[in-house]
Structure 1
Amino acid sequence: MKTKDYELIEKQCPLEFAVKAISGKWKIPIIWQMHLGEKRPSEFLRGIAKVDRRVLNQQLKEMMETGLITKESFNELPPRVEYSLTELGQGLVKVLWDLNEWGKLLIPENKESTPLI
């Protein structure tokens, strides 16, 4: 990496890195589906409505590059592949759980009865 690249990274906020790691229409649903264990690509296709196989594969590849998930290929016939969360990805599950709870406060029918403070 060039010195200029390091200078750019030093100026970036850690939150920017976090948001970039999970940005993408399907990354959060993929992570949420894996929080209980490893998944095969076909399980993602069944569990996430409207996700395209090509887009799913791209999102999985990006999450592997970020270090959120791992891919295990089994030497079987027919071939089998499973994805699972890394320790880094497992840490994200708690953050998503907290975000889910916070999101409940934003639902219109909950605003009247739920204090915001």
Structure 2
Amino acid sequence: MRNRKGGFGECPDGQAHACPVEFTLDVIGGKWKGVLLYHMMDAPVRFNEFRRICPGITQRMLTLQLRELEEDGVVHREVYHQVPPKVEYSLTEFGRTLIPIIRLMRDWGIEYQAKQQSADSRTADAEV
């Protein structure tokens, strides 16, 4: 397990450790991890597929994010010894427990996106 930085304070229920939400966000938080996990929900994904899916991520950042997810036991890295080399990433059994959370995040994002588009439409209509 990685060395957790922590430091968000104590959990309101009086636990000696930080809030469980802090631990969750440490594993799945950040700009790319949620997106990577979302794309692994249904099937394994090859490294270069991630590069196509997320063109804004650098190779270094993609490697780092996948390694952290692997270290946290959420993602499995399968190396196929062939030419050219092939590497696939998939959710572990433990990682699959995140699927309901990721789906809820997706649903919330769809709802929020619609809300934003509706607000933008009202603003554009008001300016005319």
TM-score per shorter chain, which class? 0.7 to 0.9
Matched with 1:26 is 32
Listed one character per residue, the Cα deviations across residues 61-109 of structure 1 (whole Å, up to 9, x for unaligned) are 0000111101011111221111100112111121111122223343334
How does the TM-score come out when normalised to structure 1? 0.79
Are residues 1:50 and 2:56 paired? yes
2:101, 2:111 → 1: CA distance? 16
Higher helix share: 1
Query: What is the distance in 2 between the residues matched to 1:52 and 1:60?
Result: 12
User: How many residue pairs get matched?
Assistant: 104
1:115 — aligned with what? Answer: none
Runs of 4+ in 1 over 6 A off after TM superposition: none
What is the one-letter code of the residue matched to 2:77? Answer: K
Residue in 2 that maps onto 1:16 = 22
Note the 1:1-117 alignment, pairs <5 A.
10-106=16-112, 107-109=115-117
Quote the offset at 1:48 in angstroms: 1.2
Superposition CA RMSD, Å: 2.0
C-alpha distance in 2, partners of 1:32/1:73? 21
Q: TM-score, normalised by structure 2?
A: 0.72
**Bigger CA radius of gyration:** 2
Partner Cα separation in structure 2 for residue 18 and residue 10 of structure 1: 17
Gaps of 5+ in 2: 1-9, 120-128
Which residue identity lines up with residue 64 of structure 1 in the other structure? E
Unaligned runs of 5+ in 1: 1-7, 112-117
CA displacement 1:32-63 (0-9 Å, x = unmatched): 11111111100000011311111100000000
**Preserved CA contact (<8 Å) 1:40 1:82:** yes
SS at match of 2:36: helix
